[in-house]
Amino acid sequence: MGGLTGQRLIALFLLGCLLLNYPLFSLFAGPGEVFGIPLLYAYVFVVWALLIALMAFVVERRSD
């Protein structure tokens, strides 16, 4: 794995730590719903899926 890929994966890890940390969780912990799903659960699922997609993009990307 190249140096740039490793740096991008570390940056994604740090982004995930920020997005899945308490201060942002408290913003979505209200009584709201999205398509019948509690807002906090929807937020966690979207962030989780986004991080996986970004990691797949970084790992599968060819560095020319």
Reported as a single tens digit per residue, the pLDDT across 5-47 is 999 999 999 999 999 999 998 999 989 999 999 999 999 999 9
| Phi, psi angles (nearest 5°) of residue 34 | -125, 115
Decide if pLDDT at 63 tops 80. no
Q: Is the CB of residue 59 less than 8 Å from the CB of residue 2?
A: no
CA 21 vs CA 1, 17, 18, 52, 59: distances in Å: 28, 6, 5, 17, 24
| Burial zone of 15 (CB within 10 Å; 0-12 exposed, 13-18 middle, 19+ buried) | middle
pTM, rounded to two decimals? 0.85
Phi first, then psi: give them for residue 33, nearest 5 degrees.
-135, 150
